[in-house]
Amino acid sequence: MNWHGALLLWCAACGVLALIGYGRSLAGVTWAQRAVRVPGRIAEVRTPQHGSDGSAGIPVTIAFPDPATGQEHVLPYVAGDSGIRLDTVWVGRELAVLHPPGEPANFKIAYDLGDNRHGLAWPHFLAFLLYAGLVADTSIRHGYPWTLLGVGVPLTAVMAVVLRDEFRLARRDAARWEAAVAVPGRVVAVLRTEHEDGEGSWTSYAAVITFTTPEETVVTARFRVDRNDPATAYGREVTVHHPPEDPEVFTLDGAASRRSELRQAAFVVLCLLLGGVAASVTGAVLL
- Burial grade of 164 (CB within 10 A; 0-12, 13-18, 19 or more): exposed
Q: How long a stretch of residues is the chain?
A: 287
User: Which of 76, 96, 116 corresponds to the end of one domain?
Assistant: 96
Instruction: Verify that 153 and 191 share a domain, yes or no.
Output: no
Instruction: Verify that 148 and 280 share a domain, yes or no.
Output: yes
16 occurs within a structural domain: no
Measured CA distances, 287 to 141, 227, 273 (Å): 13, 52, 21
Q: What is the secondary structure of 133-166 as a DSSP string?
A: HHHHHHHHHH-THHHHHHHHHHHHHHHHHHHHHH
Q: Which amino acid is at 61?
A: T
How many folded domains does the chain comprise? 3
* Contact yes or no for 55/76 (Cβ under 8 A): no
Q: Is the model's pLDDT at 56 over the cut of 90?
A: no
48 occurs within a structural domain: yes
Instruction: Verify that 152 and 281 share a domain, yes or no.
Output: yes
Indicate the pTM of the whole model: 0.76
The pLDDT score that the predictor gives to residue 268 is 63
65 occurs within a structural domain: yes
Instruction: Verify that 161 and 267 share a domain, yes or no.
Output: yes
235 occurs within a structural domain: yes
User: Can you tell me the distance from the alpha carbon of 191 to that of 253, in angstroms, rounded to the nearest whole number?
Assistant: 21
User: Can you tell me the distance from the alpha carbon of 32 to that of 29, in angstroms, rounded to the nearest whole number?
Assistant: 8
Structural domain of 195? 184-252
Q: Is the model's pLDDT at 100 over the cut of 80?
A: yes
204 occurs within a structural domain: yes
Instruction: Verify that 79 and 203 share a domain, yes or no.
Output: no
pLDDT band at 123 (very low <50, low <70, confident <90, very high): very high
Instruction: Verify that 260 and 239 share a domain, yes or no.
Output: no
1-54 tens-digit pLDDT: 576 778 888 889 999 999 999 999 999 888 888 889 999 999 999 988 888 877
260-284 tens-digit pLDDT: 556 666 666 666 666 767 766 776 6
Instruction: Verify that 195 and 220 share a domain, yes or no.
Output: yes
User: Which of 62, 77, 96 corresponds to the end of one domain?
Assistant: 96
118 occurs within a structural domain: no
Instruction: Verify that 159 and 283 share a domain, yes or no.
Output: yes
Instruction: Verify that 160 and 259 share a domain, yes or no.
Output: yes
The pLDDT score that the predictor gives to residue 89 is 92
Sheet order of strands, 108-110 included: 72-78, 59-65, 36-45, 94-99, 108-110
Instruction: Verify that 90 and 224 share a domain, yes or no.
Output: no
Instruction: Verify that 229 and 263 share a domain, yes or no.
Output: no
For residue 214, the domain's CATH number is: 2.40.50
199 occurs within a structural domain: yes
Instruction: Verify that 63 and 190 share a domain, yes or no.
Output: no
34 occurs within a structural domain: no
User: Which of 59, 76, 96 corresponds to the end of one domain?
Assistant: 96
